[in-house]
Structure 1
Amino acid sequence: METRKAQQRQADQWREPHSKWPKTIPRAKGFDSTLALLNEGYRFLPRRFEALDSPIFRTRLMLKNVICMKGPEAARFIYEDPRLTRVGALPSTVLWLLQDEGSVQQMDASAHRHRKAMFIRMLVDDTTSMDRMAAIFRRRFLDRIPSWTWRKEVSLASEMEIVLFQTALDWTQTPIDPDSVGDDAALMADMVSRAGHFGPRTFTTLLRRSHLEKRLRRVFSDIRSGRIALMPGSPMAVIANHRDKHGHLLSPEVATVELINLLRPIVAVARFIVFAALYLHQHPDWRERLREKDSERLTDFVEEVRRISPFFPFVGARAQSAFEWNGYSLAKGQWLLLDLYGSCHDPLRFERPGQFEPERRLRHEPCDYSFIPQGAGAYATGHRCPGEQATVRLMMEAVDILCRSIDYEVPIQTLTVSLRHIPAGPRDGFRINQIRWRDSD
């Protein structure tokens, strides 16, 4: 009953007011909250929503005015309202690490939909392509295990980054020197891990990215000149041959950016896989349950991992013009943040949100604006991540192998996950040892 009352109270706060005057947005304490965000990490937004008893508040980050939001209404607004743009919604270093200029995420309206359709064809519509990605990942993972069996111990995080990068290269048909795979896999992982930080290591990662981009631009030039032949329909061929809404081929620079926007997120799935392994360790009863092949139960487990695990804490947008939304007045250029982590841990939407309970049987549907670990809304018309289905598929394959193909031990290590660190993960990367093949049942 109390939860329903709280949900109704929050819904009432989003409704249009009867007064002709705009509603006042509560302001967080302090002149600027940048240091507080760096210190509190994922808890920064939820703590202020709770303290102000409001699903919306105003503060400053990096001396810039920002309005922070949470909840289904806010998710629908941020992901689907055409009056918003992603341009200018990220700090420059984060943009260069995760998206870069000219990428699909930095486009709006028809140009965004046209470019995004390319990704949707590869990652959503082409189920055969997704089957191929899953099969490649499974083969690469299983091929890696023999070397684990004679090693003293392995870091699952590092190993998954290599396996996933090899999967991404095979699936996209990206020709990269095998000798550079380890370094390039680490670079892809560093692009994600450095996104929440500033300093010399971040700029070193940006420099390494620029070197990789130079190599990939040469690859696209060789493809178009006929020096490199690709399998028709492969992601590399799709990007190389994609034409914008005006009929022009993507420049080698933009094609390279979009290729990296396929490679990097696939490697980033390693973080979810490590969290899955952590929850298998913490809930050994689920490890036993998943040893029986059951795709529904496996999906339940994986989706709960996505809900509860701290990945990216929030997503940004900017108002392209001045307008009023739900009774709140927004200025042109207003910076907005949607709390992804807090929304997936909202006690008004999920009972016992801090508890790992795969029995919730979560499924992300286009009409669901509460379960938003990788965004909200429809793939085709909004900014929801089109790689979400691939993430779930790869996680399911990994969990299946960890439960049904191998046995291993988890040595003493620090498995705590600091919510101050963005993006978060087990401190020691989840090390395993005594790895051996499971006896066939």
Structure 2
Amino acid sequence: MQNHMKTERRKEMEVKERIAYDKGLDNTLKLLEEGYLFIKNRMDLYQCNMFETHIMGEKVICISGEEACKIFYDEELFQRKGAMPKRIQKTLFGVNAIQGMDNNAHIQRKLFFMSFMTEAHQKKLAELFEKEMKDSVNKWINKNEIILSHEAKNIICKVACFWTGVPLKESDIESRADDFYSMVDGLGGVGSRYWKGKAARNRTEEWIRGIIEEVRQGKLLVEDDSALNLMAFHTEPDGNQLELQMAAKELINVIRPIVAISTYITFTALAMYEHPECKEELMLGNNNYIEMFVQEVRRYYPFTPFLGARVHKDFSWNQYEFKKGMLVMLDVYGMNHDSQIWNYPDEFRPERFKEQKDRTFSFIPQGGGDPKKGHRCPGEGITIEIMKASLDFLVNKVDFEVPEQDLSYSISRIPTLPKSGFIMKNIRKKF
């Protein structure tokens, strides 16, 4: 018996030697200070792909790498229910919405989302966006300068609402766009940023709830295949109609991520400016190179910092015992800059995407796994198509100057943007 206990104790000590432990009783403040680099800094320091830390008073296991990603998206081992802090649900996703669902309930809701995010829907949305950008140029040429992040946010909000069938007055575009973006900005915010995001969520849910109610009552007629109509009359697997408040949350979960693409549009413009050597190839209108450039923007620049899930059942991986209920965080930003996955990860090289390969678990700027069944963002295709449209527009449809400005962005701020928002002046159209 004693020999058995000694053997088990020795095994435990060996495991501890292989697992890095973050210093400090709680590292919440360090996470807020380091932002996107919180996990990667420690992976680099400890030369590991997994470490244990404490955040908001709870033990958290941080993991990184392609194999870690495969484990993280194994539905038998991990669940999303209970993983997301309420403060994030109250700003970004909505309480108890699709992002916190698991198993068959999640699959059914996800398939419903995917039904109006087909390739045809993606193309239509991108075309609407490009048309609106062209229309906006007529206003821009009469201005001394514009801030792209601001303009893109308003344009894409208008387009997203039109595409989903949500009526939006011209006079309300800016305020609604600000609210959608504030939900995203509240993700890593404390104090005023958080409360602003929470208030924006409450206002938007009330607005969308009223619209859905009007559709259900027949007071507002919309296209049968619009996301608004489909959400208004969606029935759950049990045959009951989706509860009104939840229908509002989920419709917001269609529009809000589209508005958030304005961040990627701004970083696309920054990438163009910082890498003028790519412009000649982009001007040829080569769709393959345009997509390669867009994918490199998604890899190189910060968007999603990390993702969380809870252990669904006890299991062992890398000689570490994962216990049911443990909170685990997957390092998204770190994987996008991991030298084991990418050659020269800190250099902007669109050509790295020339090689067609399976990147399901190695390139995860909007989540990994199967988008139809798992927790990968169902709107990833929409993101790519809109980014391609914005890139082609900025390169081939307009000329502009980039004045001196502060284009730096804080890697400690989640989410982040170039500080100036990317100012463009002396805009001239080429079409």
Matched, 1:177 2:169: yes
Provide the alpha-carbon RMSD of the alignment.
1.7
1:363 Cα deviation after fit? 7.8
Residue equivalent to 2:315: 323
Cα distance between partner residues in 2 of 1:29 and 1:127: 47
TM-score, length-scaled by structure 1: 0.91
Cα distance between partner residues in 1 of 2:268 and 2:318: 38
Residue equivalent to 2:234: 242
CA contact (8 A) 2:84 2:100 kept: no
Residue equivalent to 1:339: 331
1:198 Cα deviation after fit? 1.0
CA contact (8 A) 1:168 1:266 kept: yes
| Structure 1, unaligned runs of 5 or more | 1-18
1:365 Cα deviation after fit? 6.8
The change in CA–CA distance for 1:362 and 1:221 in structure 2 (over 3 A counts) is: farther
1:249 Cα deviation after fit? 1.1
Residue equivalent to 1:299: 291
1:129 Cα deviation after fit? 1.6
The change in CA–CA distance for 1:194 and 1:234 in structure 2 (over 3 A counts) is: same
Code of the aligned partner of 2:133: F
TM-score, length-scaled by structure 2: 0.93
| Structure 2, unaligned runs of 5 or more | 1-9
1:177 Cα deviation after fit? 3.1
Q: Deviations over 1:81-133 (max 9, x none)?
A: 3231212222222122111123111111000000000111111xx32222211
CA contact (8 A) 1:376 1:384 kept: yes
More divergent stretch after superposition (21-30 vs 167-176): 21-30
More divergent stretch after superposition (140-149 vs 19-28): 19-28
CA contact (8 A) 1:303 1:362 kept: no
CA contact (8 A) 1:85 1:318 kept: yes
More divergent stretch after superposition (377-386 vs 110-119): 377-386
1:200 Cα deviation after fit? 2.6
Cα distance between partner residues in 1 of 2:149 and 2:355: 26
The change in CA–CA distance for 1:82 and 1:35 in structure 2 (over 3 A counts) is: same
**Match for 1:394 among 386, 396, 400?**
386
1:364 Cα deviation after fit? 8.7
Task: Give 3-state SS (helix, strand or coil) of 1:290's partner.
Answer: helix
Residue equivalent to 2:4: none
Cα distance between partner residues in 1 of 2:283 and 2:389: 13
Residue equivalent to 2:352: 360
Code of the aligned partner of 1:59: T
Residue equivalent to 1:61: 55
Matched, 1:45 2:46: no
Code of the aligned partner of 2:403: P
Residue equivalent to 2:83: 89
CA contact (8 A) 2:92 2:201 kept: no
Cα distance between partner residues in 1 of 2:167 and 2:365: 32
CA contact (8 A) 1:80 1:381 kept: no
1:134 Cα deviation after fit? 1.2
CA contact (8 A) 2:300 2:336 kept: yes
Matched, 1:117 2:105: no
Cα distance between partner residues in 1 of 2:94 and 2:316: 30
Cα distance between partner residues in 2 of 1:340 and 1:63: 23
Matched, 1:132 2:139: no
More divergent stretch after superposition (398-407 vs 134-143): 134-143
Task: Give 3-state SS (helix, strand or coil) of 1:195's partner.
Answer: helix
Matched, 1:385 2:377: yes
1:426 Cα deviation after fit? 0.7
1:58 Cα deviation after fit? 0.1
Task: Give 3-state SS (helix, strand or coil) of 2:307's partner.
Answer: strand
**Match for 1:276 among 258, 265, 268?**
268
Q: Deviations over 1:133-158 (max 9, x none)?
A: 11111111111111111111111000
Cα distance between partner residues in 1 of 2:376 and 2:193: 30
Cα distance between partner residues in 1 of 2:273 and 2:188: 27
1:367 Cα deviation after fit? 5.5
**Match for 1:201 among 187, 193, 215?**
193
The change in CA–CA distance for 1:366 and 1:117 in structure 2 (over 3 A counts) is: farther
Residue equivalent to 2:66: 72
CA contact (8 A) 2:185 2:193 kept: no
1:366 Cα deviation after fit? 6.2
CA contact (8 A) 1:79 1:384 kept: no
**Match for 1:431 among 398, 402, 423?**
423
Q: Deviations over 1:260-307 (max 9, x none)?
A: 101110011111111110010011121222111111010010000000
1:383 Cα deviation after fit? 0.7
Residue equivalent to 1:351: 343
CA contact (8 A) 1:119 1:386 kept: yes
1:373 Cα deviation after fit? 0.9
Cα distance between partner residues in 1 of 2:30 and 2:44: 16
The change in CA–CA distance for 1:364 and 1:89 in structure 2 (over 3 A counts) is: farther
**Residues matched between the structures, number:** 419
Code of the aligned partner of 1:434: N
Q: Which runs of 4+ in 1 moved over 4 A?
A: 19-22, 362-367
CA contact (8 A) 2:186 2:198 kept: no
Cα distance between partner residues in 1 of 2:365 and 2:264: 11
More divergent stretch after superposition (286-295 vs 335-344): 286-295
Cα distance between partner residues in 2 of 1:365 and 1:106: 30
Residue equivalent to 1:15: none
Cα distance between partner residues in 2 of 1:110 and 1:75: 21
Residue equivalent to 1:226: 218
CA contact (8 A) 2:91 2:187 kept: yes
Cα distance between partner residues in 2 of 1:206 and 1:97: 5
1:204 Cα deviation after fit? 2.8
Cα distance between partner residues in 1 of 2:233 and 2:358: 30
Task: Give 3-state SS (helix, strand or coil) of 2:15's partner.
Answer: coil
The change in CA–CA distance for 1:393 and 1:253 in structure 2 (over 3 A counts) is: same
Task: Give 3-state SS (helix, strand or coil) of 1:194's partner.
Answer: helix
Matched, 1:151 2:143: yes
**Match for 1:266 among 258, 273, 296?**
258
